[in-house]
Structure 1
Amino acid sequence: MIKSIFKFMFKGLVWLLGLLALALLAIFLYHRFQIAQESRLIQKPFGQLVEVDGKKLNVYTAGKGDKTLVFLSGLGTNSPVLDFKALYSRLEEDYRIVVVEPLGYGYSDDGDDDRSLDKQLSQTRKALKAAKISGPYVLVPHSIGGLEAIHWANRYPSEVEAIVGLDMTMPHTEVSDQERFTRSYQIVQLVRNLGLARLPIFFNDDNAPAIQSGALSEREQAIFKALFHRRSVTQAVMNEVKARDKNVATVNQEPVPQVPTLLFAAVQKGGGDTKLEEDFAAQNPQAQLVTLEGSHYIHDDQPEEIAKRIKDFLGK
């Protein structure tokens, strides 16, 4: 009797695993079909492709003005050009807007090279030079892009006129277990490659701040989603994930740049911990700290307020 029960359970498990395998295959084939269908949406980049170290990087420019604002994206932002649109669309009448999409992001090529701060900064500067965009620059980094901005201001101070941080990563940020952090991105990469991210439980409009900002047209929303499903965790992004702790350690050894700095710190309703931002600002008499309620993608949550404060800041 017990033997029969185990035999029945084993057959049931085999059937269940078989159905699961078929479901995964169906999702994967649908994902590949959608990738092919979406290819026509992203044939023409927003911006121009320039050659850097044998790869093509996308550089988007808009607007006009005496000051050049260079936006630096956060880790894994699949389409920096579209993600920053809610903010820069409110600034392009007064300033020259530049978004450099790093290796593995947006319309830029992917690659398997070093993602140290020196390498990232070198490629950003080469991309600007290739696009004939000269400094000095107002750097506008989001999240981990703040590490590159700080490194830039310390390595090439004559090129950095000011820094506007969008909930940017601070020096001495507590780095969680690097192995666990890398593993989490590897899981995300697998989920995306299998097409599981197309299931509503993994992705919908509610968890895409750039779409929720209302700044994107219907076509741009479709392009954003297409890039999400094919560019979110590229090899270059994965290499950047693996280099995160070393890049934080690099900035920890550097001084706080003594340039005009405007820091936006995102806090949840009821407040939040801004000690690192306060410490950073306290070491620079030209720094201002502004706390705003919203998510980590604060530039998508409160673009109007941030744009107004940037204009006031740069006007002074």
Structure 2
Amino acid sequence: MAISTVGQKVNIEGNELYYEYIEGSTNNITIVFESGYGWDLNNWNPIRNDVSKFANLFFYDRDGVGRSGKSNKPKHSIQIIKNLRNLLKKADIKPPYFLVGHSFGGVNVRLYASKYPEEVAGIILLDSVHEDQNKIMVPLFSEKVRKEYLGQFVVEATLNEFEESLEQVRGAKLGSVPLLVITGGTQSYHTTQSMAQWMEFQKELANLSSKSNHLIIKKAGHAIHIDDPKAVINAIKEMRAKL
């Protein structure tokens, strides 16, 4: 079928949020992409064309990011998934959704799936944030990396709002929703100890669903879909075929 793309802004509670929808399949499942902290939807460019050949895709910019406006509302995960759900409804993108969340986006898709499991067909977590990372892993960074990490929260959520999101997702279960956790195996900014802890966190994430798998992409870093797009495209295609 011919692939068609729709991109537009929609008013969500007084703020304009930008989204792009690509209809690439007659299947009723839409893949919804949640970006990492501060990243606009263009970060998915390395995989979007190939994935659009076999699926319907939904990308958007969160409040305060990219082509979306910036509101005075909180930038934590509860507000984010409220915005996303309203945006999907206004764009007339009906469930079920196959959620793909990178880094901080992983927290948001977990929270969405735990609150609206009937709307979610499957989840992929790409090197996803874990709720205990600031307490346990960040102290294991070198002093330089720790300062850089803690100083990054100026784009959308503040550090306090980011940590609120970590608490909001704590205890959120995924039941039997099909889950794939993908982890980058080469992350140079880590110490040996912090990387070992990151891998432990990734294993814990893979235990959130009774139907889960954990895939480690050895030569990819934190941005797996940019470092090894083919691996991510193949993972999405395989999982999508099973849903």
- 1:40-60 CA-to-partner distances (Å, cap 9, x unmatched) read xxxxxx821011011110011
Does the 8 A contact of 1:102 with 1:120 survive in 2? yes
What's the counterpart of residue 298 of structure 1? 224
The TM-score, its normalising length taken from structure 2, stands at: 0.82
What's the counterpart of residue 159 of structure 1? 119
Cα distance in 2 for residues equivalent to 1:133 and 1:261: 22
SS, match of residue 89 in structure 1: helix
The TM-score, its normalising length taken from structure 1, stands at: 0.64
In the TM superposition, structure 1's runs of 4+ consecutive aligned residues that sit over 6 Å from their partners are 180-183
1:279 shift after superposition: 2.2
- 1:15-53 CA-to-partner distances (Å, cap 9, x unmatched) read xxxxxxxxxxxxxxxxxxxxxxxxxxxxxxx82101101
1:181 shift after superposition: 7.5
Cα distance in 1 for residues equivalent to 2:97 and 2:202: 22
Cα distance in 1 for residues equivalent to 2:116 and 2:148: 31
What's the counterpart of residue 213 of structure 1? none
Residue 103, structure 1, aligned to residue 70, structure 2 = no
Percentage identity across aligned positions?
22
Residue correspondence of structure 1 range 8-47 to structure 2 within 5 A: 47=7
What's the counterpart of residue 287 of structure 1? 212
What's the counterpart of residue 263 of structure 1? 181
What's the counterpart of residue 250 of structure 1? 168
What's the counterpart of residue 93 of structure 1? 53
Cα distance in 2 for residues equivalent to 1:89 and 1:242: 36
Cα distance in 1 for residues equivalent to 2:187 and 2:126: 18
- Root-mean-square deviation (CA), in Å? 2.4
The structure that is strand-richer by fraction is 2
- 1:164-203 CA-to-partner distances (Å, cap 9, x unmatched) read 11111134333448xx6897237xx6xxxxxxxxxxxxxx
Cα distance in 2 for residues equivalent to 1:241 and 1:181: 12
Match of 1:185 among 149, 152, 155: 152
The structure that is helix-richer by fraction is 1
1:255 shift after superposition: 2.3
Cα distance in 1 for residues equivalent to 2:86 and 2:158: 19
1:106 shift after superposition: 1.1
Residue identity matched to 1:245: E
Cα distance in 2 for residues equivalent to 1:102 and 1:54: 14
Residue identity matched to 1:303: P
Does the 8 A contact of 1:256 with 1:284 survive in 2? yes
Residue 133, structure 1, aligned to residue 133, structure 2 = no
Residue identity matched to 1:281: A
Does the 8 A contact of 1:264 with 1:291 survive in 2? yes
1:112 shift after superposition: 2.2
Residue 72, structure 1, aligned to residue 25, structure 2 = no
1:295 shift after superposition: 1.8
Q: Give the number of the structure with larger relative contact order, counting CA–CA contacts within 8 Å between residues 6 or more apart.
A: 1
Does the 8 A contact of 2:175 with 2:210 survive in 1? no
